[in-house]
Amino acid sequence: MSLAALERLAGAQTRLIAALDGGDIAEIESASRALATHVEEVRGVAVWRATPELKNQVETALRSGESARVRIGYLADRSRRRLQALLGLGGRVAMGYGRNGRIRLPGA
């Protein structure tokens, strides 16, 4: 594995985080696809501990990935709360998730 591959991965993570913060759906989708491509590029390589530079770069990429994961969780929760508030305005006060993992609206 090269430092260049890890740098591309870190760049893709940074791009995804910026897209999530910006809220542009098209950019989020594009950044997600780019990230998936770069993850596949470095996946399964067990020699990342070969040099201190590689190890540091992988640790940086992992921290960046965790940052993106936290943002996604926050944005999902914020969306759920907004939907819950809208449902409350319409007289529906609760929602949940069905067995398929999708949001199930009351009475639906």
pLDDT at 58 over 70: yes
Residue type at 103 in one-letter notation: I
pLDDT at 96 over 80: no
Tokens describing residue 19:
């897209």
Q: What is the pLDDT of residues 18-31, one digit of tens each?
A: 998 888 889 989 99
Residue 55's domain spans which residues?
3-94
pLDDT at 80 over 90: no
Structural domain includes residue 99: no
Give residue 66's pLDDT.
84
- Total domains present in the chain: 1
Structural domain includes residue 64: yes
Structural domain includes residue 87: yes
Give residue 46's pLDDT.
59
Structural domain includes residue 17: yes
Structural domain includes residue 53: yes
Which pLDDT band holds residue 49 (cuts at 50, 70, 90)? low
Structural domain includes residue 25: yes
Structural domain includes residue 107: no
- The answer to whether the predicted template modeling score (pTM) of the entire model surpasses 0.75 is no
> Which 3 state secondary structure label does DSSP give 104?
strand
pLDDT at 92 over 80: no
Give residue 108's pLDDT.
54
pLDDT at 65 over 90: no
Q: Which residues pair with 97 in a beta bridge?
A: 103
Structural domain includes residue 100: no
